[in-house]
Chains A and B, each alone.
Chain A
Amino acid sequence: MNSIGRNACRARRGLALATTRVLAVSAAFLVANLASTIVRGAAPLAEPPRISHPLLVLKDAAGKNVLETGEPISTRQTCGGCHDYDFITDSFHFQQGKNEMNAKLLASHGIAPFNSSPGMFGKFSIIPNRQLTHAGVADVSDYDMSQPEWLTKCGVCHTGGGISEVDLAGHRFLTPEAKANGSLDPSYTVRDRVSGKVVPWDWAKSGVAESDCFLCHVPKASRGARREAMTAGNFRWADNATLADTGIVVKQANDTFNYNHAAFNPDGTVKAEALGLSDPTLENCAQCHGFTAKNVTVIQAIQHADIMRGTEKAGWIYNGAKISDTVTPNIVGREQMDFPWDVHAAKGLICIDCHFSPNNPGRMIQTDAAKNLNYRPGMNDIAVYLKRPDHNFARGNIPPETVNMTRHNTMRGCEDCHDAEKAHAFLPYKSLHFKALACQTCHIPEVHFWAYRSDEWGFLMDTGTSRITFRGIDGDIVNPDAKVTGFKPAFIPARGKDGQTEIRPTNLVTGVYWFDLSKRRPVFTWQVQQAFFTGWDPDNGWTYRPEIVKAFGDKDGIIDRDQARYDSPEKIALVRGLLQKYAGISDPELRIEVVPWAMSHSIAGKGQATKACTACHAKNSILHRPLDLDNFLPKGVPTFFQGRKIDVVSWRGKEPGFDNRPLLASFYIIGNSRVAWIEWLGWLSVAGALLFVLIHGGVRIFGGRR
């Protein structure tokens, strides 16, 4: 072999060796990688970075940077630059019925015509016995709550947009078209508390409250500061007030706000970390809806002098912490409650997981029931969502709330996440149970908190207002040492997601109020005050009329809490006469109204849920639980339930209790329900047979016959 040949041979061997080495290294690398991948498999993936909101300029009503002008923030200009402000605010959080003021629509849903809308802006409630004045009233006796007054009381939560920007005729306040239609126009007037007269509202002074996007989208939003601004009628600065805790604004002595330049970037945009725009957090929603937290052991359901609404009405606490870990309040028996306040909260679910924007591509329901489509492509366009996020958030059907009445039950039902068939192995006749009962019926066996029990406006206390009682607490709700005993819900029929009538748990709030039969509406609170009191002054407050003191007071002329009750027909007749005499109500009628507040939070897991058959299927079925109503209830007056005259008050117990038998008459609960004539006929036939045996047999025996 020549040198060339040898070299070539060496080269081939070298190439082969090199190739072998490369392959070996590659194989080792692959094996190492594979092993590494297997080992890493169990490790959690890092959370992907969230897409943050672009930096923005806070603008005033003229569209200029507020840093330059010092004017209040205009969300219409600031947020509306990218998002469709008018579309967003045409939703129920902002309108509260204002965009549903349609008499035909109300009538079709059985809402009495004295209401002007199905939402809080226009619908009467026994809490707080006030009515929004109808547009176009000509008589001051038809005037109760005006739009500006509504905003000072309810506008704390109902965050602007329609109700605080536009009058009842549809004109934006402070525009040339916006003019009062007469001296009683409820959009431009207010009843003066001292004089009782209807006086003009100064919109130029109060300004207009635009949609408060910050209340829901800024984690450090301050409802307390907003509350101060709104209750003071300082609407113009309300949105700024909401940012009081962010460091962006600083309150001034004249109730305006300055801007803190340190919270802004050199280019005039506000610093992202100062504003922190995000999806609504638990804490954002909690500010208005009820006590809500991820994991909190101090339950403070009264914030900024308001009881958190959902907790107030239904006693719910949405909290992931265990009840046994509660520091305050004093939950009786909490040592034994080694389970969370709400199982969904404990699993980390936040409000918007269920109450999502219906066109949010990440959460939306992509079915179209009207077209029998389980999946409808083309709905999830992110651009559409970002421009026009639908703020008619997915919701259930929560009596007595009727707002956004054509869009109830838009959220996913329990069954959309849970496979109830598989999860209830112990339960016979599953589909029958699932059809007749809401999931909450078994999964809210008890509420371990307090809630409203009654609000009585039929007899006014010396504060000029109602007597409120609570259930589930032994003591005052503001006393941290008061024993919180909790309560078990009552049950009513309600419309389920599929349109069927199902049994649901509720808290019951009983109202006693006067109804004006001649005008077919509740008597206004100011009219009841005219009947009860000679007047009000800043030093002495309200002074009862002598007739009231004589009938209800003790020998010293004092009416204490227990004496303030209608315990005889004569007392009812007396106040009826006073209403006629001093308030001009020609035909007043005292009424009881039992209002159910449906429960859907404070969900118990399978360990605490009701499972025993005989809990329902027995003589003392929990489904007919006689929840105590109010020991001050007057006897012999008409009782109403969900707008209908139905006697749902039972007087058989020590205290008046709820009797839901007329409501659940369409349900046959085996082991509990009895059809009277069937039982009579059945037992009569059995008794007849026994009687025959006794008589016939007796004669045979004693007659000596076979």
Chain B
Amino acid sequence: MNAQEPLYSLHERIWHWLQAAGMIVLLLSGFAVHYPDHFGVFGSMANAISLHSWIGFALILNAFLGLFYHLTADKYHHFLPKMDDFTGGAVRQARFYLYGIFKGEPHPFETDPRHKLNPLQKVTYLALLNILLPFQIVTGVLMWGANRWPAAFERVGGLRVLGPAHTLGAYLFLAFVIGHIYLATTGHSPLSLIRAMITGYEEPVRHRRAAEETEPDGAGDAPALAGDATTPPVESAEPVPIPPNA
């Protein structure tokens, strides 16, 4: 691998931040609709609904562009968990978050441009992208289309079903966003992962190597990546990919 290759390509970073911005606007405008007494930030409820609809469709488009990009750029495999990811991998990553991180242990799964997500992320995104996101899209589009496709809208129970369902999805997304942002601070430094999603690169490798040398169990986790023939040895002080633990 070329040492100059970023962990996150420009496409991925733009896609990520567009998703992030869209999601935040959706959450804010959604809460402006759900709690109009407390979230009057968009001037009026009609504005909030209009913005929510536009951003929602923009986000759907962005999601499809992301899908297209990951399929055509052969990057979809990042999101495909292996069987071990559901059990051993996810447990090891969870153990790290709940225990190892406090002991200064190294990340159990080193990441690089070919392995960007740890098992827990893969499992989370599998649920998020295949269940929660489509669920929000379907419930949201049906509500948006209540005037256009009233039969379909009523067939699924109308607002009485769709409203609460979409609201629940929004709460779960909010919980995800909170966890996502927080876990983005669990890189080698609190801002390293966030910086990586901006610049594409994590901190200089010497910091990482120094860190790894101080961690007695770090070597024990290295074999997790050993099978990947494409994983390059870390040799220089050039910027290297970082593990997106968030």
Residues of chain A at the chain B interface (Cβ within 8 Å): 426, 428-432, 613-614, 617-620, 666-668, 670-671, 673, 675, 678-679, 681-683, 685-686, 688-690, 692-693, 696-697, 699-700, 703, 705-706
Contacts and interface: CB of A to CB of B under 8 A. Distances in A.
Nearest to B190: A706
Contacts of B168: 678, 681-682
A638 B34 CA distance: 35
A683 B171 contact: yes
Interface in B125-163: 146-147, 150, 158-160, 163
B174 A686 contact: yes
A668 B163 contact: yes
A686 B159 contact: no
Nearest to B35: A671
Contact of B175 (A614, A619, A678, A689): A689
23 contacts: A429-B146, A430-B147, A431-B146, A432-B147, A614-B45, A620-B37, A667-B159, A668-B158, A668-B164, A670-B33, A671-B34, A673-B163, A678-B168, A679-B167, A682-B167, A682-B170, A682-B171, A689-B176, A692-B179, A696-B182, A697-B185, A706-B186, A706-B190
A431 B158 CA distance: 13
Main secondary structure of the interface of B (DSSP, over half): helix
Nearest to A427: B46
B210 to A, nearest CB: 13
Contact of B167 (A620, A678, A693, A705): A678
A429 B104 contact: no
Contact of A685 (B103, B150, B159, B171): B171
B189 interface: yes
A671 B36 CA distance: 6
A667 B163 contact: no
B131 to A, nearest CB: 14
A685 B147 contact: no
B182 A692 contact: yes
Nearest to B187: A706
B46 A613 contact: yes
Contacts of A693: 178-179, 182
B150 A431 contact: yes
Interface of B: 33-37, 44-46, 49-50, 97, 101-104, 146-147, 150, 158-160, 163-165, 167-168, 170-172, 174-176, 178-179, 182, 185-186, 188-190
A700 B101 contact: yes
A428 B102 CA distance: 52
Nearest to A666: B160
Contacts of A666: 160
A683 B171 CA distance: 7
List of 3 A-B pairs having minimum Cβ-Cβ separation, nearest first: A682-B171, A613-B45, A689-B178
A620 B36 CA distance: 10
Contacts of A679: 167
A705 B101 contact: yes
Contacts of A685: 171-172, 174-175
B164 A705 contact: no
A700 B159 CA distance: 44
Contacts of B172: 682, 685
A429 B190 contact: no
Contacts of B150: 431-432
Contact of B147 (A431, A619, A705): A431
A613 B168 CA distance: 23
B182 A697 contact: yes
Contacts of A618: 36-37
Given A613-B36, A692-B182, A700-B102, 9 more contacts: A429-B146, A617-B33, A619-B36, A678-B168, A690-B178, A693-B179, A706-B101, A706-B188, A706-B190
Nearest to B101: A705
A690 B175 CA distance: 8
A668 B50 CA distance: 19
A431 to B, nearest CB: 5
A671 B33 contact: yes
Nearest to A667: B160
Most buried by A among B35, B178, B188: B178
A670 B147 contact: no
Given A430-B147, A686-B175, A705 B104 contact: yes
Contacts of A667: 159-160
A656 to B, nearest CB: 25
Nearest to B154: A435
A579 to B, nearest CB: 44
A525 to B, nearest CB: 43
Given A429-B146, A682-B172, A617 B102 contact: no
A569 to B, nearest CB: 39
